[in-house]
Structure 1
Amino acid sequence: MYARGGSPTWVIRLYDAADEVLWAARLNLLWLAGTLLGGIVLGAGPATLAAYTLARRHARGESFQAFPAFLDAYRRQFLRGTALLFPVLGVSVFLVSDYLYFASRGPAATAPRLATLAGLAATAVIASYLFPMVVHYDLAPRTCLPKASLFALTRPASSVLLLFAFLAVVKATATYPFLALVISVGAWIQLDTWLCLRFFAENEARLRAEQIS
């Protein structure tokens, strides 16, 4: 099969795939630079929101210069990014510590270990909705977490898909740790944004249909 202009369709698809890989690597580099710029602790939050802002624009087909756009979003999202990421990191560190503790106690602590694992999965899913939701709807930090949690509960199929996608990225990074410095974060942010924008659009369409009916 040939596309317009006589170019094979597979060549166009291969080019598009390579372009997406390069974009994810660029996004990963920007996120790393922004995180280091803030001394890691204060830089990770704004860098994450800035990266999600660019991922949303890219998913919507906008044309922009990545570096200036990232710096602008980084400055604008500094306080909000820090306010959002710290609670997520705090809960994650607490749950990971509990999981390791219960795992060290062996079979006697199987139930609390599994409960902690479920808590980690729930945290990952809520965070997967949280950051795309913040940049898409421009929400205030205090309203973000309840809305993301509600969305995760009311969209179980979407939540399971996000969890599997997240675990796939984590598995690949654990197998090949160098990917964390090259593409893993950027690829996850772009994939997460792409999926969530579609989930949000489906939800908005459903709500409009319910209002009409």
Structure 2
Amino acid sequence: MTDSAAPVATWALRAHAVFDWIWWIALLNLLWWAFALVGLIVVGAVPASVAAADLTRRRLRGEVFPVVRAFAAAWRRELWRSNAALGVGAVVTAILAVNVVGRLGAGAIGEPLGIVSAMALVAAFTITAVAVPMYAHYDLPLRAYLLTAGRWAARNVLHVVLLLLGAVAVAGVGSVLPGAVPFFTVGAWLTLSTVLCIAFFTANDRALAEREAAASTSR
């Protein structure tokens, strides 16, 4: 390969990777809506989110699998278990979101109760957003996921800020390009939050292992 052809090949590979992720986001978005609706949203949204996180984690690890079949299998497998573990967080987040939207519409978000509601929404959203990929990444008791996600968020504020900035970016793109909302928004958020959280968890696990190794060496 000539020197001039190498940059072209590199650019082509990068473009292919970008479009591959765009395809992934669109497919994940479609599957999330389809399976969330099968569960009438109330019991379908949480396992659909868990399935999306699980498949994105597998994709990051380089696994190759039939996406639709794997998503359906993960959704069925986690239908009741994921709702038991994460359902409370999802319901609380949804209730707070409705409350905050209502106060925004009424122009009452600046009142003390409106500010408290908005802060509670951010906290509930953050904990649930962390808990979904945590559920896919770690094997914990069902009752421990939301509590562990809350503790993790409190100890990793910079990571939480980055995660919230990602949510703002996805929402901002959706507001600028409203036609893309039905096709990409949910898939984009679930992909982005999973990629970020898995990176955070992996870095934390590596740092913990290094500290334990250093401590054992110093004994």
Q: 2:99–2:117: 8 Å Cα contact kept in structure 1?
A: yes
Distance 1:11 1:97, change over 3 A: closer
Do the aligned partners of residues 169 and 74 (structure 1) sit closer, same or farther apart at CA in structure 2, a change above 3 Å counting? Answer: same
Say if 2:153 is the partner of 1:147.
Answer: no
1-structure distance, mates of 2:78, 2:154: 27
Q: Which residue of 1 aligns with 2:134?
A: 133
2: distance between equivalents of 1:63 and 1:4?
30
Q: Percent identity?
A: 33
Deviation at 1:186, TM superposition (A): 1.0
Change (3 A) 1:102 1:66: closer
Distance 1:2 1:182, change over 3 A: farther
**More divergent stretch after superposition (31-40 vs 94-103):** 94-103
CA deviations 1:72-110 (Å, max 9, x no partner) are: 101110002322453123212332344356553648x53
When residues 12 and 73 of structure 1 are mapped into structure 2, their CA distance, relative to the original with a 3 A threshold, is same
- SS, match of residue 52 in structure 2: helix
* 1:10–1:46 distance in 2 versus 1, CA, 3 Å: same
Displacement after TM superposition at 1:167 (Å): 1.5
What is residue 24 of structure 1 aligned with on the other side? 25
- Deviation, 1:112, is 2.6
Partners of 1:34 and 1:44 within 8 A in 2: yes
Query: Is the aligned partner of 1:64 residue 2:65?
Result: yes
Q: What's the offset of the Cα at 1:69?
A: 0.6
- Residues 130 and 148 in structure 1, CA contact (< 8 A), matched pair in contact too: yes
8 A Cα contact 2:127 2:150, kept in partner: yes
Equivalent-residue separation in structure 1 for 2:84 and 2:65 (angstroms): 27
> What number of residue pairs does the alignment pair up?
212
Backbone CA RMSD of aligned residues? 2.4
Q: Please give the alpha-carbon distance, in whole angstroms, between the structure 2 residues aligned to 1:84 and 1:175.
A: 35
| 1:177 corresponding residue in structure 2 | 178
Residues 16-165 of structure 1 aligned to structure 2 (within 5 Å): 16-100=17-101, 103=104, 104=106, 106=108, 110-165=111-166
Q: Which moved more, 1:1-10 or 1:127-136?
A: 1-10
Distance in 2 separating the partners of 1:3 and 1:147: 52
| Separation of aligned partners in 1, 2:166 and 2:96 | 21
Q: State the 1:115 CA deviation.
A: 2.2
Distance in 1 (alpha carbons) for counterparts of 2:62 and 2:24 = 13
Aligned residues of 2:35 and 2:44 also touching (Cα < 8 A)? yes
Equivalent residue of 2:65, what SS?
coil
Cα deviation, 1:38-61, whole Å, max 9, x if unaligned, reads 222221122111111111111211
Structure 1: stretches of 5+ with no match in the other structure:
none
Cα gap change, 1:6 to 1:78, in 2 (>3 Å): same
CA 198–32 in structure 1, closer or farther in 2 if over 3 Å, else same: same
Distance 1:200 1:27 in 2: 22
With over 3 angstroms needed to count, the CA separation of the structure-2 counterparts of 1:44 and 1:98, relative to structure 1, is closer
Cα 1:87–1:3 change in 2 (3 A) is: farther
Q: Summarize the Cα distance change of 1:121–1:155 in structure 2 as closer, same or farther, 3 Å threshold.
A: same
